[in-house]
Amino acid sequence: MSGDLSPIDKAKFVAARRAAEFVEDGMRVGLGTGSTAAWLVRCLGERVREEGIRFRGVPTSTRTAELAREVGIEVVSLEEAGWLDLTIDGADEFDGELSLIKGGGGALLQEKIVATASDQMVVIADAAKSVETLGAFPLPVEVIPFGWTASQALLEEALVSMDVLGRQTTLRMNGDQPYHTDEGNYILDLHLSRIGNPRQMALILNQIPGVVENGLFIDICDKVVIGYGDGKVEVRDINAGTVDEDRVDFVEDDNLFRDV
């Protein structure tokens, strides 16, 4: 299996495989959305099959829910689970303080709700997602469809007074139609190039009428697991102030897709 993976997919796989070790029997676990999170779900499904581990998973999108059920994970809603022990999710960018940009997969609202309803959030990512300053990846902002152009105008006006390099905003599309989130909302992508003060921006954006949530995750992530194409894994713990290195060996007859 691993011999067919690109270096970037190997990096995502080893990060997911290492992060899957944080899940213990009986836990309530938030399951993220996106390509790296999909690796995590498959790795957890493998643990369910081979180790008999049992836990309840709370997905952050319909896509994740479908995959989790396919690999044998018990899926419940956040209301059924109550408070979560752990959420593991990907990120589009993270900085040295483990502030994140998320929402490239369109699930930022559910992802933020689930992450903040957890004792701990662990982010899994390849090394390319590590940045000195957030903002190269477009910042997603979820808005309700009613009056979205007015919300967009107010967003662009607010950006004038913020420490950013770019101010272009675009409506995310799905073909020739606006992209719809699982909640039926739209996403405006903010092309900022650099965000000088993410904390200030997160607060200001959510005060704009029509904005449901933004993709800045500040003071939410506790650990980040960074994968590399050679199998190296780095675990950064923002609370303990530690950086640990590990290695995940590839097993050529590994088949994470056996039951998918």
Residues forming the active site: 111
Confirm or deny that 102 is annotated as ligand binding: yes
> Going along the chain, which residue ranges are E strands?
28-31, 56-59, 74-75, 86-89, 93-94, 100-101, 121-126, 139-143, 168-171, 173-174, 177-178, 186-191, 211-214, 216-217, 223-227, 232-237, 242-247
AA identity, residue 54: R
Confirm or deny that 115 is annotated as ligand binding: no
Confirm or deny that 241 is annotated as ligand binding: no
**Cβ-based burial of 204 (10 A; exposed 0-12, middle 13-18, buried ≥19):** middle
Confirm or deny that 96 is annotated as ligand binding: no
Confirm or deny that 147 is annotated as ligand binding: no
Confirm or deny that 52 is annotated as ligand binding: no
Cα–Cα distance measured from residue 1 to residue 185, given in angstroms and rounded to the nearest whole number: 38
Residue 124: which of 258, 256, 248 has the closest Cα? 248
Confirm or deny that 90 is annotated as ligand binding: yes
Confirm or deny that 149 is annotated as ligand binding: no
Q: Residues forming the annotated binding site?
A: 33-36, 89-92, 102-105, 129
Q: Residues forming the annotated binding site for substrate?
A: 33-36, 89-92, 102-105, 129
